Structure 1
Amino acid sequence: MLPVLHGDVSNAARALLTVAPGARRRAGARLVAEAAEAAAHVAQTGRLHPRYGNGSLMAAARKTRLADEPGFDDPDYCACVIEVLRAVMRYRGAKGAM
């Protein structure tokens, strides 16, 4: 997966907003896995992944439905941002790069 920037987190959080709260952990993990798969594909072939794009979390998230981006005064959005960051940390921890 490419380095995770603010835009990646906000787009992934917007994707999680469209998912039921109980399914967000799994959806966040799926987005991270798709970004990682795409990055590996790009590294191997030099071409974008046909479904997940360039290996960024933003590209993986943008293939899904996205909610409008609220502000940080929205507790549901904040929970989604936190879940995205946790998914990235779990992935990085699993890869030994935390």
Structure 2
Amino acid sequence: MRPVLHGDAVCAARALHARPPAERPFALARLMARAEAADAYRKRFGRAHPAWGNGSLMALAAREDLPPEPPLDDPDYCRCLARVFAAIAEWREVKARLSGRN
């Protein structure tokens, strides 16, 4: 997956917020896996994956019909952002362990 920027986290959280709470863990895992796969495709073929974008969370999440970003006083949206940040942190930790940078 490409380096994660603020917009990536926001787009991913908006995509999660549009789904029922029970679907969110699976949807986020799928989003992270597809972004990783799209980045590998981009590196190998020198172009964006036709269905999953360039390997960024934003490129992938923005392919969905995203609702506008809710305000941060929406506790459900805050939980979506927290879930995305936790997944990004876990992904980075796993990548560091696998590369021996721990």
Instruction: Work out whether the TM-score is over 0.5.
Output: yes
Which consecutive unaligned segments of at least 5 residues does structure 1 have?
Answer: none
1:15 corresponds to? 15
In structure 1, C-alpha distance between the alignment counterparts of 2:64 and 2:92, rounded to whole Å:
23
CA offsets 1:55-91 (integer angstroms, 9 cap, x no match) = 1010111112312111111111101101111222232
Could you say what secondary structure the match of 2:61 adopts? helix
In structure 2, C-alpha distance between the alignment counterparts of 1:48 and 1:67, rounded to whole Å:
24
1:6-85 correspondence runs (5 A): 6-85=6-85
**Conserved? CA contact 1:72–1:78, under 8 Å:** yes
Which consecutive unaligned segments of at least 5 residues does structure 2 have?
Answer: none
1:2 corresponds to? 2
> Which one-letter code corresponds to 1:67 in the other structure?
P
**Structure 1 stretches of 4+ moved >4 Å:** none
In structure 2, C-alpha distance between the alignment counterparts of 1:76 and 1:62, rounded to whole Å:
20
C-alpha RMSD of matched pairs (Å) = 1.4
> Which one-letter code corresponds to 2:69 in the other structure?
E
In structure 2, C-alpha distance between the alignment counterparts of 1:94 and 1:22, rounded to whole Å:
25
CA-CA distance at 1:50 after TM superposition: 0.5
- Which structure has the bigger radius of gyration? 2
**Equivalent residue pairs, number:** 98
> Which one-letter code corresponds to 1:14 in the other structure?
R
